[in-house]
Amino acid sequence: MPLLSVIIPAYGVQAYIRAAVESVLEQDFSDVEVVAVDDCSPDLSGSILDDIAARDPRVRVLHLAENAGLGGARNAGVAAATGEYILFLDGDDTLAPGSLSAIADRLEVGDFPQLLVYNYARVWWDGRTAVSWADEILAALSPSVFVPREHLRLFNLLPIACNKVYRRDFLADLGVTFPRGYYEDIHFTYTVLLSAQTAVSLNRVVLLYRQRRAGSILGSGSPRHFDIFGRYDEVFAELDSRNVDLATRKHLYDVMVNHYVTILRHQDRVPKAMRPEFYEQARESVRRHAQDWSSVTKQNRASNIRARIFLDRSYRDFRVYDRIDRWRKPARRAVGSVYWPTRRALKRVRSIGRLYYKALRLLPIDQNLVLFSEYWGSGYGCNPRAIFEKLPEVAPNLRGAWLIDESKAVLLPPGTPYVTPGGWKRWMMFARAKYFVNNVNFAGSYVKRPGQVHIQTMHGTPLKLVGLDVMTSAVASTAVDPVRQPRRSGGKVIPIDEAQSAREFENLLRRSDRWDFAISSNAYSTETWSHAYPCRYAWLESGYPRNDALVNATAQDVAAARSLLGVPEGATAILYAPTFRESIGDTSMRIDVGALLDALPDGHVVIVRAHHTATAGPAMKALMASGRVIDGSRVPWIIPCYLAADILITDYSSTMFDYALLDRPIITYADDWPIYRETRGTYFDLLAEPPGIVARNQRQLTEALVSGLFDGDQARERRAAFRARFCQYDDGQASARVIREVMLGS
């Protein structure tokens, strides 16, 4: 029995059907069958399918005796399928390369759920593409298994059958089929979403949804668009049979109302002469399914207005409203055409500050002044902090100051001089400091003078691609400046064009050309950073200064860290430190920490340390408020979290390289590894060379912790090999070594 059965109905698609079938057969995944259904097609579709089937045994062709319509053809395909899962593909659409292997991996990681939801892109005949805004919704879903009915925004997605994978026994038990007529997907889709108890999401484009110049069913004017009223009657009958709560009914009511508006607005659907009649039937449908919604707390204002128009107003009134509603976006653009030029004009005031800075650069350099900063002035930590705190001991003649946000200045030791990234005093520091220490680049406004020395400390051993190595990626802008997130439209990352990308990276290299020294903690990092940032600087293979605290830690240091964080006496502390996901927004918190704690014996506590660009969500904050989870992000840097933790759970974060110095267990939680590696890119296969046990889903993670496998023989062997490769230069003397070699010249 194959894992996947792809059902492909064919009617009048002789120009496209071969591409549709071959997009399945040419995937890098072979455990699949194609059930192609010739729906009594009047063209050559059937014979084309027979030709393909004669050459590939994975293809079976059903020739229906009479036309059954798209819904009937799909039903016939499902009845003939033998796969564990069903996937629908229309005869004029295709699957994106690599989709089936990604689906199979996600199903396995999700412990083979009843449903998988994926994304699609519209593809036009002239080569234009547009990725569905479903990205935004799929990114917000639980990264593990979820119940669709608990995520009502899923019901906002286009109600099509072709953006999901269905477990065949789930469909059989449910007994749901496609009706005849137009809009056959509506009842099927909402019944499935209401019924599924286990689902996972795959936030990548799988379906390439062809937008034909002519010939698509829904894009053609026809009285059969009136079928939609029966479809929504079926949906509300389903809601009645399931005694669905009022909030869910209201949500689907809004979906229905907005769907009717969309059809009326579409010039090519309902013929013009029939639109008043369509409107009247829509009014009857809206009235028929209306209820007293006053007790529903969250309501959509626009949907309520449209519903009131259907209930109380004529078709002529609707047309007036529709014209006004369509003018909203042009009106916003008109306001923007005034606002943005005004804002740009105000920004020119900055040029005065740069003239001031130019004058200050005529003053002599202060040979004893060192300017520190980390992560664009956002805190007090990482390698710059370690060097700063070592400075009085090794070079007491040098004075340290910080470039830091005003809101974070409280983190500095009392009396520490500081300037803010947007303040005028920073110009004096830029002009006169001798040494500049940062784990990222200083702003482009900083102009390095002859005699000034720039130390780039880096901020972790790189697993994901960085610098020039990620230049062609859609998330390239985060490699230039991770604080500035990539532009999105409807939740989808908008790739920057080649010309803009080149400018971005030219500026990156221009800032990196200011480096005199760069710090490395292992030979792998030296090699990797060298081609990621090919500039003229010298390497300090000193180890990371921040890791001195780990190498030199005593039992007293560990006890102090546990006390600082509030770890109970005798508790087993698990540090959860995930990285950021650029391509889909921040969905880094991928573990159900509450469920994990419930499954573990008493005496376990979880310390959560969010990525520096991320924050904990409401569910995590609730766990922190309950005392079951400790907020590790409240301490300025991660070192106390490392020292306090007995076990580290991370994904693709550089925390694994630092924590390995403690020689404590590390679990790699890699539920989205294929997608992460494809969208962000990595330098090596972490799952082939992990620092310990690998868990691909919550069940495997729980089993590893409960069984003790997380610190078994295999885990220790992997950790030893990992430490040998990546803990090469860290000996506890990195901070002093950097100060002596660069600032004291010894």
Segment 620-624 shows an average pLDDT of: 79
Per-residue pLDDT tens over the stretch 422-463: 888 999 999 999 999 999 999 888 899 999 999 999 999 999
Residue 492 has pLDDT above 80, yes or no: no
Q: Assign domain 553-726 to its CATH architecture.
A: 3-Layer(aba) Sandwich (3.40)
User: How far is residue 186's CA from residue 168's CA, in Å, rounded to a whole number?
Assistant: 19
Lay out the sheet containing 572-576: strands in order across.
629-631, 604-608, 572-576, 647-650, 666-669, 693-695
Domain ranges in the chain? 4-215, 218-348, 353-546, 553-726
For residue 130, give the nearest of 139, 120, 121 by alpha carbon. Answer: 121
297, exposed or middle or buried, with CB in 10 Å at 0-12, 13-18, 19+?
exposed
Per-residue pLDDT tens over the stretch 80-117: 999 999 999 999 999 999 999 999 999 999 999 999 99
Asked if residues 596 and 606 have their Cβ atoms less than 8 Å apart, the reply is yes
Candidate from 54-68, 199-213, 364-378 with smallest mean pLDDT: 199-213
The confidence band for 485, taking pLDDT boundaries of 50, 70 and 90, is very low
Per-residue pLDDT tens over the stretch 300-348: 888 888 889 888 888 888 888 878 777 766 766 777 677 767 766 666 5
Q: What is the DSSP string of 326-370?
A: HTHHHHHHHHHHHHHHHHHHHHTTHHHHHHHHHHHTTSPPEEEEE
CATH of 4-215, one of 3.40.50.12500, 3.40.50.720, 1.10.10.1200, 3.90.550.10: 3.90.550.10
pTM, full prediction: 0.77
| Angle subtended at Cα 179 by Cα 177 and Cα 184, rounded to the nearest 5 degrees | 100
**CA-CA-CA-CA torsion for 55, 58, 62, 68, nearest 10 degrees?**
-120
**Residues constituting the chain:** 746
Residue 503 has pLDDT above 90, yes or no: no
Q: Does the fold of domain 553-726 match that of domain 353-546?
A: yes
Per-residue pLDDT tens over the stretch 556-574: 999 999 999 999 999 999 9
| Angle subtended at Cα 24 by Cα 23 and Cα 25, rounded to the nearest 5 degrees | 100
**What is the token pair recorded at 311?**
């209930």
User: How far is residue 225's CA from residue 272's CA, in Å, rounded to a whole number?
Assistant: 13
What's the confidence (pLDDT) of residue 746?
Answer: 63
Q: For 388, how many CA atoms within 13 A lie in the half-sphere containing its CB?
A: 25
For residue 1, give the nearest of 62, 58, 84, 59 by alpha carbon. Answer: 84
Asked if residues 390 and 400 have their Cβ atoms less than 8 Å apart, the reply is no
Q: For residue 683, what are the CA distances in angstroms to 46, 501, 652?
A: 47, 21, 11
Residue 713 has pLDDT above 80, yes or no: yes
For residue 212, give the nearest of 13, 48, 11 by alpha carbon. Answer: 13
CATH of domain 353-546: 3.40.50.11820
Asked if residues 37 and 76 have their Cβ atoms less than 8 Å apart, the reply is yes
